[in-house]
Chains A and B, each alone.
Chain A
Amino acid sequence: MLDPLDNRPHKVILSDDTEVFLRFFTDSDAEMLFQFYRNLPEEDRMVLKDDVTNRKIFLELIDRIHKAVATMILAFHQDKIVGESTLHRNLHGWTKHVGELRAVILREYVGKGLTRALLKAQVEVANSKGLDKVVFRILDTQKDSKKALEEIGFVQEAVLSKHAIDLQGNFHDMIIMSNFVADLWRKMEDLIRDTEFEVIP
């Protein structure tokens, strides 16, 4: 698990044996991150909720990180950013217990376990911050992302029909995937209780 107070990189070995390092964002990563967003193919930029290829919006994201309302984990391969996941939260209001997770991964690293590693690390961050729930919005075409989310305990909670439109003008359903992180500890307690109860005749 990544410790936000300890910025040492955390090694992840992908399914093709590529060694990738995860660590929390620091200000010195800002320019490389901006270029990472700018170099994304059009199709990938389309699924960005905020247009972080625009410097003004990018700086707003960095400001959110500084204000601790966003936590970003970067994935590096050979000192190059190959993916990121960000946990956004509201510190006040009726959704202050909910985090919204977003992730961007370079295509050549998709399907190798990096998405899973980045998301899993953020679920643990959410847990350590005491959030009860994390949501992730995906489009109906993002099947790999859905699978990765399900593998780490997300479930499909809602579908918003024709909620997104792609560059060709096609409508897409938006799927809200949710992970009730507070339930994890209940599951852990249940596991302990179940193992202790199971031999009662």
Chain B
Amino acid sequence: MSDKRKMEIRISGLGGQGVILAGQIIGKAACLFEGLYSTMIQSFGPEARGGACSAQVVVSPEPIMYPYIKNPDILVAMSQEAYRLYANKVKSGGVILYESELVEISGVPEGVKCYGIPATRLAEKIRNKVLLNIVMLGFFSAFCDTINHDAIKKAIASSVPKGTEGFNLNAFNEGFEEGLKLKAERK
């Protein structure tokens, strides 16, 4: 585990986009399939569906003493509001991953890289827009060295309803491939 580093992740979007489930899957992947520690704090607006929604996930090879995040290494933004609220908090050297058809980026903090993916459209192409969060998880996985993508796939398969695993893993792969491609292009 020594080569793994602590990572702070904020996933944010709207209720109904699967923000919290995505956070839970990252935490599960880290704990159950990578042997790391993880914590998650979730919060959302007064109306869960359509309201602002955010998950703060910390994964670390060491016990986590404080579960809140001030400056994430990775921000996953699935709504404009999420980007507006949290983009300027991302630490230098960090990454913002955003839903490119829902979020317009501006004022990117110095030292932060931004990568976008039309996750909702890809999810609809695969089967159902409800897979948006899983496409984003795949995209996230391409940029997260601390948690192996196989661990996230295992966590997805064990978290989603029976019979939807194939679609969910397809959605993950779609996002993952897209992430790897974008990363290679920018190098």
Instruction: Mark A residues whose CB is within 8 Å of B.
Output: 1, 120-121, 123-124, 127-128, 151-153, 179, 181, 184-185, 187-189, 191-193, 195-197, 199-200
Given known contacts A1-B169, A127-B127, A185-B128, A197 and B163 CB-to-CB distance under 8 angstroms = no
* A123 pairs with B163, CB closer than 8 A: yes
Question: In the complex the two chains form, what is the Cα distance from A181 to B18 in whole Å?
Answer: 21
Q: Does B111 contact A (CB under 8 A)?
A: no
Of A179, A184, A185, A196, the residue contacting B15 (CB under 8 A) is A196
Given known contacts A153-B162, A188-B130, A196 and B167 CB-to-CB distance under 8 angstroms = no
Question: Whose C-beta in chain B lies nearest to the C-beta of A190?
Answer: B161
- Measured between beta carbons, the chain B residues less than 8 angstroms from A121 are 166
Q: In residues 1-50 of chain B, which contact A (Cβ within 8 Å)?
A: 15-21, 24, 42, 44, 48-49
Q: Does B108 contact A (CB under 8 A)?
A: no
Q: How far is the CB of B81 from chain A (nearest CB, A)?
A: 16
A-B Cβ contacts below 8 A, count: 73
Q: Does B160 contact A (CB under 8 A)?
A: yes
Q: Does B170 contact A (CB under 8 A)?
A: yes
Question: Chain A interface mostly helix, strand, loop or mixed?
Answer: helix
Q: Does B79 contact A (CB under 8 A)?
A: no
- Measured between beta carbons, the chain A residues less than 8 angstroms from B161 are 153, 184, 187-188, 191
Of A1, A193, A196, A200, the residue contacting B166 (CB under 8 A) is A1
* A199 pairs with B160, CB closer than 8 A: no
Of the candidates A128, A151, A181, A195, the one having the most CB atoms from chain B within 10 angstroms of its own CB is A195
- Measured between beta carbons, the chain A residues less than 8 angstroms from B162 are 151-153, 184
Of A123, A187, A192, A200, the residue contacting B16 (CB under 8 A) is A192
- Measured between beta carbons, the chain B residues less than 8 angstroms from A184 are 161-164
- Measured between beta carbons, the chain A residues less than 8 angstroms from B19 are 196
* A197 pairs with B166, CB closer than 8 A: no
Of the candidates B20, B160, B170, the one having the most CB atoms from chain A within 10 angstroms of its own CB is B20
- Measured between beta carbons, the chain B residues less than 8 angstroms from A153 are 161-163
Question: In the complex the two chains form, what is the Cα distance from A197 to B15 in whole Å?
Answer: 9
* B170 pairs with A1, CB closer than 8 A: yes
* A195 pairs with B24, CB closer than 8 A: yes
- Measured between beta carbons, the chain B residues less than 8 angstroms from A123 are 163
Of B16, B159, B160, B164, the residue contacting A196 (CB under 8 A) is B16
Q: How far is the CB of A133 from chain B (nearest CB, A)?
A: 12
- Measured between beta carbons, the chain B residues less than 8 angstroms from A188 are 128, 130-131, 160-161, 164
Q: How far is the CB of A147 from chain B (nearest CB, A)?
A: 14
Q: How far is the CB of B32 from chain A (nearest CB, A)?
A: 17
Given known contacts A191-B21, A192-B21, A199-B42, A120 and B166 CB-to-CB distance under 8 angstroms = yes
* B169 pairs with A200, CB closer than 8 A: no
* B20 pairs with A152, CB closer than 8 A: no
Q: How far is the CB of A106 from chain B (nearest CB, A)?
A: 24
Of B18, B163, B166, B170, the residue contacting A192 (CB under 8 A) is B18
Q: Does B87 contact A (CB under 8 A)?
A: no
Question: In the complex the two chains form, what is the Cα distance from A189 to B15 in whole Å?
Answer: 11
Q: How far is the CB of B138 from chain A (nearest CB, A)?
A: 14
Question: In the complex the two chains form, what is the Cα distance from A189 to B20 in whole Å?
Answer: 12
Of the candidates A120, A151, A185, A200, the one having the most CB atoms from chain B within 10 angstroms of its own CB is A185
- Measured between beta carbons, the chain B residues less than 8 angstroms from A187 are 161, 164
* A200 pairs with B164, CB closer than 8 A: no
